[in-house]
Amino acid sequence: MNDTATLTRPAAPTKTEHFDVLIVGAGISGVGGAYHLTKQCTGMSFVVLETQESFGGTWITHRFPGIRSDSDLYTFGYRFKPWTGAPIATAAEILSYMGEVIEENDLGRHIRYRHKIERASWSSDVALWTIEATRGDTGETVRFTTNFLWMCQGYYRHSEGYTPEWDGMANFKGRIVHPQSWPEDLDYKGKNVIVIGSGATAATIVPAMAADCAHITMLQRSPTYFRTGRNAIAIADELRALDIDETWIHEIVRRKILHDQAVFTERTFNEPETVKQELLAGVRAWLGSDYDVDTHFTPRYRPWRQRLAFIPDGDLFQGIATGRASVVTDEIERFVETGILLKSGKLLKADIIVTATGFNLNALGDIAFTIDGDPLIFADTVTYRGMMFTGVPNMAWVFGYFRASWTLRSDLVADFVCRLLNHMKRKGARKVTPALRPEDKDMPLLPWIDPESFNPGYLMRGMHLLPKRGDKPEWQHTQDYWNEKDELPAINLDDRAFVYE
């Protein structure tokens, strides 16, 4: 017998706990799911298992300077809990809001932190999922069974971000840091810093660090669109001045924002050139007519094909205008001892290089799934409205919106899951599995997202891991909140797409 294996193998779980529903993850979706279960499925037992030591998901994983939302908190906040602060919020403010939701609704007793789910096995004989998790504090393996698995694990691997391999990285004498694993001891005072990338993360880090660095450079291969404006919502301020109840303000401001966003999104499809010029004019207003906006801020794609980040009070542009920050649009030839050599031949010197280069997509939370003993190949399934999957019983996944706040969808999916659970209870069904109907037999199967519509790097790198979509609304994640807010509550749960046993 191999002694090392004997010593390191976790002890077999001694007991198995059972819950009607098991939620994976205590991010904004999982905590929201827990809230909705307590309100809409009273009496059902449930547990939330979370790898990390606290709630928040994205908002505790990311600890880089300046970390904040890029969409407004009236719509990124839950529909049931008013947001009362400025629309763009820091991670700390979001965590405090989520903490209030947990406390006000006594959700803490349902959440088990430091529980990393490793395996999930469905057995048709007993119509149950068996979940094995490793406890981060004791290393112990613990086992649960559940009737229904609610996947709120997000869409990217929390343990490490995506860093491409560049030539010569090992030669660089300074520090290379990914924003997803920000070192607490990183001292950047008086240092030269390069931030690779120009997405929302880079656009947050650059202004947050600019005042303390000797100089900070945002190095991008190609430009990104940004929207800029005041970090305030006029109608919210007016209603507050009139002493209107916060519950009303929340609802009215949500409707106003969603209306304006619908108009804007529509315009990006119908008049992309006009929208493009408006966005660029917003940048020019901060940087002046001498600045080379064409090279550094004019993307090659049409607006909204990648996430559009909001720059509150133009802080990124203020940093550039004062000369403390700059943008370089070029390609990396290789890393050298003192910095980065660019394809143009220019050398960018740095003490610290921040790789704001994105995420590793992980569709199922790095959990080994089996169904009746066979490994689940997620890419072989077809999605039912981006929430459930053909051949996968008693499971739902929360995948939010790209062009609207994620939480708008996590609330809608929660309503659907609760309705489905109540429907199954009424019917006495132990199992529900989505299946293509006879009329779907010849439906073309396509990648999860149409790259023509939306094509960020992490999705393009990971598309082969994701379920397929069909060409009918039932069999795709349409990314369209404005239709889904009416369509999802109206889903006929006795449609033949749901097979009950």
Q: Which residues bind ligand FAD (CB under 6 A)?
A: 24-30, 49-52, 57-58, 62, 69-71, 76, 116-117, 152-154, 158, 201, 365-367, 398, 400, 405-406
Closest contact distance (angstroms) between CB of 317 and ligand FAD is 19
**Shorter beta-carbon distance to ligand FAD: residue 72 or 440:** 72
State in angstroms the smallest separation of the CB of 453 from ligand FAD: 17
Query: Cα–Cα distance between 75 and 72 in angstroms, integer?
Result: 6
Q: How many CB atoms lie within 10 A of CB 21?
A: 24
Q: Is the CB of residue 41 less than 8 Å from the CB of residue 422? A: yes
Closer to ligand FAD by CB, 319 or 358: give it. 358
Distance of closest approach, residue 259 Cβ to ligand FAD, in angstroms: 18
Q: Which is nearer to ligand FAD, 330 or 480 (CB)?
A: 480
Instruction: Give me the least distance between CB of 58 and ligand FAD, in Å please.
Output: 3
Residue 217 CB, nearest distance to ligand FAD (Å)?
21
- Strands (DSSP E) contained in 82-123 are 111-112, 115-123
Q: Are 191 and 357 in contact (CB under 8 A)?
A: no
Q: Which residues pair with 48 in a beta bridge?
A: 23, 111
Burial 349-386, CB ≥16 within 10 A → b, else e: ebbbbbbbbbbbbbbbbebebebeeeebebeebbbbbb
- Looking at residue 464, the DSSP 8-state letter turns out to be G
Query: Shortest distance, CB of residue 444 to ligand FAD, whole angstroms?
Result: 29
Rounded Cα–Cα distance for residues 76 and 95 (Å): 12
Q: Which of 339, 356, 287 is nearest to 317 (CA)?
A: 287
Nearest-Å Rg of the Cα atoms of the chain is: 24
Contacts of 438 (CB under 8 A, 6+ apart): 496
Minimum distance of ligand FAD from residue 113's CB (angstroms): 9
CA dist list (Å): 222 to 2, 327, 435, 468: 53, 11, 42, 30
Strand boundaries in 407-463, DSSP class E: 432-434
Token pair for 404: 């609207």
The residue among 70 and 351 lying less far from ligand FAD, judged by its C-beta, is: 70
CA pair distance 385, 479, nearest whole angstrom: 10
**Closer to ligand FAD by Cβ: residue 26 or 249:** 26
Q: Phi then psi for 272, rounded to 5 degrees?
A: -60, -35
Q: Which is nearer to ligand FAD, 91 or 436 (CB)?
A: 91
For the chain, the straight-line distance linking the first and the last C-alpha, in angstroms and rounded, comes to 45
Selection from 108, 117, 106 nearest residue 149 by Cα: 117
Residue 32 in contact with residue 159, Cβ under 8 Å? Answer: no
71 vs 163 by CB, closer to ligand FAD: 71
Residue number with CB closer to ligand FAD (230 or 496) = 230
269 is written with which tokens? Answer: 């499809």
Give least dist CB 144 to ligand FAD, A.
12
Which is nearer to ligand FAD, 87 or 282 (by Cβ)?
Answer: 87
Cβ of residue 202: shortest distance to ligand FAD, in angstroms? 11
CB 439, min distance to ligand FAD, A: 32
Rounded to a whole number of angstroms, the minimum distance from the CB of residue 244 to ligand FAD is 25
Output the CA torsion sign for 468, 473, 479, 485: negative
Nearer residue to ligand FAD within complex by CB, 89 or 213:
89
d(CA 83, CA 371): 41
Q: How far is the CB of 59 from ligand FAD (least distance, A)?
A: 7
Cβ nearer to ligand FAD, comparing 151 with 352: 151
Structure tokens belonging to residue 264: 């804007």
Residue number with CB closer to ligand FAD (164 or 190): 164
Q: How far is the CB of 393 from ligand FAD (least distance, A)?
A: 19
Q: What is the DSSP string of 237-290?
A: HHHHHTT--HHHHHHHHHHHHHHHHHHHHHHHHH-HHHHHHHHHHHHHHHH-TT
Nearest to ligand FAD of 394, 405 (CB atom): 405
Contact 387, 396 (CB under 8 A): yes
Which amino acid is located at 113 in the chain? Y
